[in-house]
Amino acid sequence: MGKRYYCDYCDRSFQDNMHNRKKHLNGVQHHRAKKAWFDHFRDAATILYDEQTKKPCRKFLQKGICDFPNCRFSHMSEEELFHLKRQVEDERRRREDSDDRIMPEPSVEDWLLRREKRQSALSSKGDLKTKDDNEEGQPEIDIPQQFLSIPDLPPSLLPPPPGGWRVKANTEWG
Three-state DSSP state, 149 = coil
* 8 A C-beta contact, residue 73 and residue 62: no
| Cα–Cα distances in angstroms (integers) from residue 58 to residues 69, 73, 159, in the given order | 15, 8, 53
Which amino acid type is present at position 26? N
Residue spans of the domains in the chain: they are: 1-41, 43-103
* 8 A C-beta contact, residue 7 and residue 24: yes
pLDDT tens digits, 26-81: 998 898 889 888 888 888 888 889 888 999 999 888 888 888 867 889 888 888 88
32 Cβ partners below 8 Å, 6+ apart? 69
pLDDT tens digits, 109-156: 887 888 888 888 888 876 554 444 444 444 455 667 666 667 776 777
Dist CA 78 CA 84 (whole Å): 10
